[in-house]
Structure formats: C-alpha cells, structure tokens
Structure 1
C-alpha cells in the first residue's frame, strides 16, 4: 500500500515485550518508520525469546505479533559509541519512545531535556507501569497487576466466584494505543511550534481511566458496581450471556426498541406483556427471573440459528473460543488475517491484520526484523 498517512515520520523505540511494541506497531501500520533500538549485549527485545513457538534464533511468533513492519538497530546506549550513534539517529527522528520502568528514561537520558540539543523538535514518549514521578516510579509492573488494583477483577466473573482477570492483556493494549495517540499529538504540536516535549502514559493511569462510568458513579454516589450473573450489564437488562440449545450467546437489548424486537422475533410476546419486565428498571430489578425466562426461549434454537435469525436486527453474538473466532468466515470476508513470508519457515506465517483501513484497504504486513538487521543501513 502506498500513501499511508504517517509516511516520512521516523520513530526510535527502546521497547520491550507488549504494551510499547503494540503502540509503535500501530504507528508502523499507518506508515511510520519505526526503528527498534535493541541492546545486543542483552539479546534485544526480551519478547524475541518468548515461547512456545520460536522462529529460529532470536525470534518467535510472540515477537512477530508485536513488531510487524519495524526495523532493528543494535545499540548499547550505555556505551559511549552506542550513545553517540543514538544521538545521531535522534537528529533525523520525530519521536523517541520507550516503555521502560519509570526511573529508567532519566538514567538512560531518553527525556526531552536530554535530547533536545540533538533535535529541538523531538517528542519523547514514555510508557511505564506507574509513571516517572511519585513513590512508585521505580516499581516494575505488568498488566495483570493493574487489572487487580484498578478494580477490574472485582467486576469480572460470576458473583459467587473468585476475582477473575481478563483472558487477554487489555491494559497493555489500551496503554499502547494511548501511547500512539500521545506520540501523534506530540508530533503535531512539534510540527506547529518547532518544539518537542515529554509525553507520559502509565499502565495504572490507563487502567483506572477505563473504570469509566462505574468510576463516576462511585466518585459521586459512593455506589460500588459489582459482578452480576452471566456478565450482565450493570444497569441494562437483558444484556448478558444466554443459554441456547447447544451453547451460549450474548444478547444485548440495550434499548427498549431492541427488547420489543427480540420479543417479537423470538415469539416471546408474553414477556413483553409481563409487568415485571415492562421497563429497563423493572427488568433490572427482576434480573434473575428475566434470565430464567429468556433462557427458556433461547434454548429452543441453536446458537447458529439465533445468529441467523437475529443478525442485523437485534444485537446478538455467538460465544466462541479462539479457534472458532479465527475460523469464522466473517473474519476472512473482512480480511482480518494475513500471510507474510518468513525466512525461517517453509510456509507463510499467518498473522492478524491491522485494525486500520486506509482508503478501504488494510496495510500490507511485513515480518518483524531480525536482531540488528538494519544496523548497517542506519549507522553507515
């Protein structure tokens, strides 16, 4: 694909593992030249060695997941030679990104005051667990910890079960997305003023911000949102898991219109006429009874039959495992998987496509780089 909107933007990234690399990969999808600065004395990005599925020496499917379309320059920033080479790269870059522990950017001199002499317009973006200031600046931290402390696990799972984390590292991915937003905002400002800045994103701050309206409810009314059966919405019913003849589905009657339409399509007009279920508040008040009644209706058909019957009319989705999700014909119809060539495989490596479309087309993915693959190109 040509004409991607960030073509000509260069980002240097001192990144590891998931959150930071996810964010810079989004920038690469949009056309930015993202150069991973990897310490050869430490084997580069630690995710290169994350199993169980490796791809030759210093590469893995995990690493490919987060570094598609990037380049790699091997530099040890703690040596005089490595630092000098890095500062030369900064001169022609638009941003320097890292996702190190909060106390590390200052030690490695990756902040705007450290780099502005090399490039006054440089944007220095920092993603850390708890930020670069405060009592936790030197604390290591990961997604799961944020899910625990920010209250996510208290909202996930069944009411009588233990706290449950998300199956995926969504705090990492959301923080990476926030990082990409911060980088773009900083670059736009620098293009306008000629002056760069420091931009900060923290996993903890991002997680807490995602509390959204339950957070607002508590701050103002001291109302603590808890877990409801079937993953039900805290105020709208039915918006929850439902039993079908053969499996599970997720039904979301978020408005009175969808409740009335579901009752009509499902042949459940008797529920529509029931005083217990006549409004959103009454349905919420009688959640247990409503769940039983809805199950009785939904169990008359299979999940596939309900998907066909309700699709495009009432919000409904089948509950799939990962295999079913990725083998779903709809995934292929929207081109959400791609194939890339890899030198250590005798067949293409299948990957998830970019979530972006540019003029109707998804960016063509390219494999993640070998360790130091582009060092000579940039340091010659």
Structure 2
C-alpha cells in the first residue's frame, strides 16, 4: 500500500486507549510513531491490561492500540532522557501526549518550550478536560464522559436505568479527532514554517457528539428523550424490530425506503393506512407501528431478511460480538489481519486498518517491546 504519511515522525508520550488509538491511525498510513515510555515505571500501562497477556510487558489489549509503532525507553524527568527527547524533537513533526491536562507544561511537552528546538513542531494534547480550566488536573475516562454529557440517559429504554455504550466510543472518537488535529497542524506548519499547540478533550468530544439534539435544545428548548426500542427521535420506523429468530435494526430514513419496505415485506396495505401514511403520522403512532412491523418481520429470520432486502431497505441483523466477527462479509472486505508475533506461532489475529489506499489496506506489524527501538535512536549497541 502507498504510505501516505511516509517521512512524518511523531513522538508520542501515550498510554492506554484514546491517544494510542489516534496515533495508530497515523501509523497505519505510514507515519513513524515513536512511543516514549519510561521503563522504570513499566512503560505504557496498557502493556499489562488483562485478561489476556502475551508475555512480560505485552497483552492483547496493548497490541490493539500500538501496532506498527516503535518504542524508546526514556525517563523524561532525567537530564539524559530530556536531552535524547529534545534531540528527537529536532527531526520530528509532532509531539503528542494524552496526559492529564496539568502535566504537559510540567514535562515541557508544549509549544512554548519546544518551539525553540523546532519552530515547526506541532504539540498535540489529548486530555480529559483540557489544559486551561478548573478541571485541568482532573483524571477522566470514557464512561465518565458518557455520563456527564447526556449519553447514558439518551440510551436504553424509557423506563430503564441509564445505559452506557458497550464500547469506549468517546476514547475512539477523541483519538480520531487527535489524528485530525495532528495532520492539520503539520499541514499548517509545512506551509507557514510555524508549529502550534492543538488540543482535543474527551469531554468536548462527548459533548460535540450530542449533535442535532444539542441544537434542538439550545434553540428550541427541546429535550430529546429515550423512545422504546432505541427509536429515532423524529423518523419512523427507525428502530429495533423483532424477527423470527431475534432482533433486527430497520431504518426507513426516507419515504422511499418506507415504500420499499412495505412492498418487499408484503405490507403494501400500510401505505394507505392514515396512521402510517406520512413520517409524522408514523412517529405519532409509533406503538401501533411497532406492532405491525414486528408482525411482518417475525415471518423470517434476521439473516433471511437481510438477504431478501438485499440492500434495497436499510436493515441489519443484531449480532453479538462473536457473530459480528465471524461474519463472512469480513473475509470479503479483508477486515481481519494476521500479525506475526513471537508468542503466537500461528500469528495474532487483529482487526485490520479502517483505511484503504488505492483499494489496499495497510499491512501492519506487531506493537513493539518496551524500549525495543531505543538503540536505533541512541546509536548505541544493544
């Protein structure tokens, strides 16, 4: 695959999920991402996150977020470590961290210090709440953001308890925004010769994901509430539906899709029913609509429906994680890759990069051992 970011060097003081997720996206595209880890403190904490370990200082969790990167062992609080780090800054395009908001300045990872070493350096900061407010020193995690930003009371059944998303979506969204900010900063520096600080936060990202319900509330005072079956707040049917063997997700987002659904599901009579003739009517009569749609879709299994609709009607089976990953469609799209790993002779199966360049996905390598590439940058024999 063409390596779009070949020649870009990124120093990253990163750990756990959000920051490493963002820099791994850049590594997928060919950037040289160098993890700056302190061996005396065990390096990136995700190296020991269980339950599945791959030996000392390595785990399935760590491999998920640091494939294709390099690792150097540096104590940023020591004079020797600082000197090596600063020397690498000279040849780098960006310095990245996902530390608590009050830490980058203390460690000298911001533009106010590093611009004298490299005027074009982009200093990218991912934190929970930012670096310039009353919460700068607060630790923060994905689930906390889902709670405070309204996600948990926008998810689930109306009378049920608050529900978080089963995956760390705020971490991943923020990591993706970090990657975007890094690339924008580097592009600007290449044009102007001057770098900058760029910041993204978990909290800002979570709040930004409120999207149109936020605009509705801020301008109309409308509070979007949970509807049964996770139904869309203004479009129907766009919700969970019952099938012969479980659940499906039906999304008739336009009148065209509603008409096609009625025809393909043998529900032509519903188009003439005044309760369901228009989207506002369908939404007003959502309970009745749910009953009749369930009755139609309960005649076939979820898989039979996806084959029957064949992409003409937006529909998906509701799968658990094993069935989602065993889906034969993943073979067609090459979304599973096997990475060589010394502790697994058969290779480590992981999800492939989401990118394609000229039709090809990146071929990645395992995440590095702690300090594996230190000698490459100190030019000392290992």
TM-score class, shorter: over 0.9
Query: What's the counterpart of residue 206 of structure 1?
Result: 205
Name 1:9's counterpart in structure 2.
8
User: What CA distance in whole angstroms lies between the structure 1 residues aligned with 2:375 and 2:34?
Assistant: 13
CA distance in 2, matches of 1:188, 1:270: 57
Q: Secondary structure at the match of 1:277?
A: coil
Q: Match for residue 179 of structure 2?
A: 180
Deviation at 1:304, TM superposition (A): 1.1
Q: Deviations over 1:16-58 (max 9, x none)?
A: 1000000000000010000000011110000000000001100
User: Which residue is equivalent to 1:373?
Assistant: 372
Partner residue in 2 for 1:285: 284
Task: Find the counterpart in structure 2 of residue 218 from structure 1.
Answer: 217
**Offset, 1:271:** 1.3
CA distance in 1: counterparts of 2:284 and 2:196, whole angstroms? 51
Deviation of 1:379 after TM superposition, in Å, equals: 1.4
Unaligned runs of 5+ in 1: none
Following superposition, the deviation at residue 345 of structure 1 comes to 1.6
Partner of 1:107: 106
Q: Distance in 2 between matches of 1:88 and 1:26?
A: 25
**Deviation string, structure 1 residues 297-335 (Cα, Å, up to 9, x no partner):** 100111111011112210000000011001000011000
Q: State the match for 1:87 in structure 2.
A: 86
Q: Distance in 2 between matches of 1:353 and 1:51?
A: 21
Question: Which runs of 5 or more structure 2 residues have no equivalent in the other structure?
Answer: none
Matches of 2:305 and 2:84, distance apart in 1: 61
Indicate the residue corresponding to 2:294 in structure 1: 295
For the pair 1:151 / 2:150, whether they are aligned, the reply is yes
> Aligned residue for 1:25?
24
Deviations 1:116-148 (A, max 9, x none): 111110000000000001100000000000000
Give the Å deviation of 1:347.
1.8
2:251 alignment partner in structure 1: 252
1:267 CA drift (Å): 0.5
Q: How does 1:232-247 map to 2 (within 5 A)?
A: 232-247=231-246
Q: Distance in 1 between matches of 2:248 and 2:127?
A: 37
Q: Distance in 1 between matches of 2:280 and 2:311?
A: 26
Superposition deviation, residue 269 in structure 1 = 1.2
Q: Where does 1:26-175 land on structure 2 (aligned, <5 Å)? A: 26-175=25-174
Give distance in 1, aligned partners of 2:301 and 2:233: 27
How many angstroms does 1:369 deviate by?
0.2
Deviations along 1:78-102, whole A, 9 cap, x unmatched? 0001001100000000000000000
2:210 & 2:315 partners in 1: Cα distance?
Answer: 24
How many angstroms apart in 2 are the aligned matches of 1:331 and 1:226?
A: 35
Q: Alignment partner of 2:125: what SS?
A: strand
Secondary structure, aligned partner of 2:345 = coil
Q: In 2, Cα distance between the equivalents of 1:141 and 1:171?
A: 11
Give 1:346 shift. Answer: 2.4
The whole-number CA distance in structure 2 between the counterparts of 1:149 and 1:344 is 41
